[in-house]
A and B are shown apart, each in its own frame.
Chain A
Amino acid sequence: MSDVSNRLTVVGERQRTPLQRKLVSVLTHAGLLAVSVLMLYPLLWLLAASFRPENEIFTSASIWPSSWSIDSYIRGWNGLRTSFGTFYINSFIISGLSVLGNVMACSMAAYAFARLDFKFKNFWFAMMLMTLMLPYQVTLIPQYVLFRQLGWVNTFLPLVVPKFLAADGFFIFLMVQFFRGLPKELDEAAQMDGCSPWRIYWKIIIPLSMPVLATAAIFTFIWTWDDFFGPLIYLSEMKTYTVMLGLRTFTDSTGESDYGGLFAMSVLSIVPIFLFFLFFQRLLIEGIATTGMKR
């Protein structure tokens, strides 16, 4: 707070009278509020539409339904042959396993890059950075052929196993940055006491790195939950669908007639992401600010 009030006086504002300063501040707030409303209006409208009686959805642009009803949710939940309950369970399994895989495999690789010495380390690190720039389309088709030969199509394996192989180099990079900031004396002291690298990793580095591990876990969850392309090509049986695939099928089949159900399920599909945002937004925003994350 103190640095905020400092800045107010410093940034060339001193020629202005208090009244002018007040006016500028009011105008800035008004502008920012207008942008906020404009940005959030579609989301609020979606929320309202999901609670509106079906016949009212397209006749009103307001964000306050005249009467509230949860019919759309009930209809939407069972709108397809398989209920959204199954899709939710599938999505949670895939996202949960992805979190586990990413946190384990990426932290191990990051520990090697940040703390251990081995031959060709810089070469491998450069290779890892290269993979960050690679468009996934280049590896897409051979990966698909590989997973198909392994008989993994219509299972969760193609979506989960790559996470256990640290395929998302971005998180390695994130963790390397964090591990490098931890005092090296800790490792050295532990090594003197005869600790193996594995014990140092497990007893020192991991417990000290909870913030970055949590950031990686939350982003992995959100991105996996949101992922549409992977499930689209690997999952074709409805009982294996994720929530996002279920939604897409909804738009194809019943969606044109049942907008209420579609909107209700759309709202439900982003509830988990919204909850993460609500409880961990500080962690997310700091994660982006320090590393420059993509989304």
Chain B
Amino acid sequence: MTARSLESGAPARERAVSPSLWSRIWQNDAPGYLFLLPWLIGFFGLTIGPIVTSFYLSFTDFDLLTSPDWVGANNYVRMFTADPKFWASMRVTVMFVIFSVPLKLAFALAVAMLLNRGMRGLPLYRALFYLPSLLGASVAIAILWRQIFARDGLVNDFLSIFGIAGPSWISNPQTSLWTIIVLAVWQFGSPMIIFLAGLRQIPQDMYEAASLDGAGKWRQFIKITLPLLTPVVFFNGIIQTIEAFKSFTPAFIISGGTGNPINSTLFYTLYLYQEAFGFFRMGYASALAWVLLALVGIFTAFSFLTSKYWVHYDE
């Protein structure tokens, strides 16, 4: 097409080029953009637009009813210097991430390795272990959890067999967060399935060679399994960490929306929800959201930057 329009000579060029350009665009690019249209509308209307607006709102006081008041960096200054609840929620969330993610992944990997030994009944076990991951996010399970760890709940029933009178795990600030961590670890099924898929990729002759050389099981795990599995560990780690930062429902249901006792289950997302939809401090809540984004962004960037030192890819 280009060749023909060049041949058609100088005088006609001005007229000839533009229709052929348009028809070329129509032929080549339009179908793609038409198929992409719903996504593009959503991308600008529900993602980019709101991101820009949210950034603006984070520098304002905004209560939904009157128009936003510009307050400069006040929200951020108050957050870091004069808001103990912000620090409490930050502490709770970081604790939750630090403990729940590694525990969940360790458990997932351990069970995946047990299952990968050519067990009979693998599909059944895999399905049973996966079930909690599928159900765990629902309100019903959070309600169940509140009951299990109550003073007269299931856990204390078991402890009483051994003559131990357990506390109310939910209303004790020392243990309340741990009940939610246990709930997260309980849902180890989906990273386990991904680990299983990864373990399948490891060639069995590597183990054979290693065991002929006299390497024990533990050495095989450290020298073969773990290095070859690092891409999967990396993937699971990122996904689970981002999920953990965003976790909301369990803390909301278990604490009845308060984040108590003594803010010990005040997840960051829960605090943000209270500020936005409890007190209608939309500007401050937007600032909280941007700090969360920065946190998740820093974590992700850090993971990707350090990954070349510990994640082994084939090539």
Chain A interface residues (CB < 8 Å from chain B): 4-8, 10-12, 25, 28-29, 31-32, 35-36, 39-43, 45-46, 58, 61, 104-106, 108-109, 111-113, 116-119, 121, 124, 127-128, 131, 133-146, 148, 162, 164-167, 172, 196-198, 201, 222-223, 225-226, 228-229, 232-233, 244, 247-248, 251-252, 255, 259, 262-263, 266-267, 269-270, 273-274, 277, 281, 284-285, 288-290, 292-295
B137 contacts the other chain (Cβ, under 8 Å)?
yes
Alpha-carbon gap, A228 to B111, bound state (A): 30
Instruction: Determine whether the beta carbon of B47 is less than 8 Å from that of A139.
Output: yes
Q: Which residue of A lies closest to B282 (CB)?
A: A141
List 6 A–B pairs whose Cβ atoms lie within 8 Å, in order of A's numbering: A12-B207, A28-B119, A104-B38, A138-B289, A244-B139, A295-B187
- A180 CA to B277 CA, complexed, in Å: 43
Is A39 in contact with B119, judged by CB distance below 8 angstroms? no
Q: Pick from B152, B248, B285, B293: contact of A141, CB below 8 A.
A: B285
Dominant SS among interface residues on chain A: helix
Contact-residue size bin, chain B (C-beta under 8 Å from the other chain): 35 or more
Docked CA distance A116–B138 (Å): 39
- Per the bound structure, the CA–CA distance linking A1 and B181 in Å amounts to 37
* Chain B residues with CB under 8 A of A295: 133-134, 136-137, 187, 190, 243
B90 to chain A: which residues have CB within 8 Å?
A: none
Task: For the complex, give the distance between the alpha carbons of A233 and B290 in Å.
Answer: 20
Can you list, as one digit per residue, whether each of B243-259 has a CB less than 8 Å from chain A (1) or not (0)? 10110110011001000
Asked whether any CB of chain A lies closer than 8 Å to the CB of B39, the reply is yes
How long is the Cα–Cα vector from A247 to B253 in the complex, in angstroms?
10
**Contact for A139 among B30, B54, B235, CB less than 8 A:** B54
Is B300 a contact of A109 with CB atoms below 8 Å? no
Considering the chains assembled together, what is the distance between the CA atoms of A166 and B38 in angstroms? Answer: 7
Number of A-B contacts (CB under 8 A): 279
Q: Does B272 contact A (CB under 8 A)?
A: yes
B165 close to chain A: CB less than 8 A: no
Chain B interface helix/strand/loop/mixed: helix
Q: How far is the CB of B112 from chain A (nearest CB, A)?
A: 11
Interface stretch of the complex, out of B5-13, B81-89, B143-151: B143-151
**For the complex, is B236 an interface residue (Cβ under 8 Å from A)?**
yes
Whole-angstrom CA separation of A288 from B211 in the bound complex: 32
Q: Are A36 and B118 in contact (CB under 8 A)?
A: no
With both beta carbons as reference points, the residue of chain B lying nearest to A276 in the complex is identified as: B134
Contact B31 A167, beta carbon cutoff 8 Å:
no
Kindly list chain A residues whose C-beta atoms are within 8 Å of the C-beta of B207: 10-12
Known: A228-B248, A228-B249. A36 touches B125 (CB 8 A): yes
6 further A-B contacts with Cβ under 8 Å, apart from A198-B31, A285-B126, are: A135-B289, A138-B289, A228-B252, A244-B139, A294-B239, A295-B137
CB-defined contacts of B138 to chain A, threshold 8 Å: 225-226, 228, 244, 269-270, 273
Chain A residue nearest to B115 (CB atoms) is A32
Contacts known (A117-B32, A266-B144, A281-B130); A252 close to B256, Cβ less than 8 A: yes
By a CB distance below 8 angstroms, the chain B residues around A255 are 143
Cβ distance A171 to chain B, nearest Cβ, rounded Å: 11
Q: Which of B94-102, B170-178, B192-200 is the contact stretch?
A: B192-200
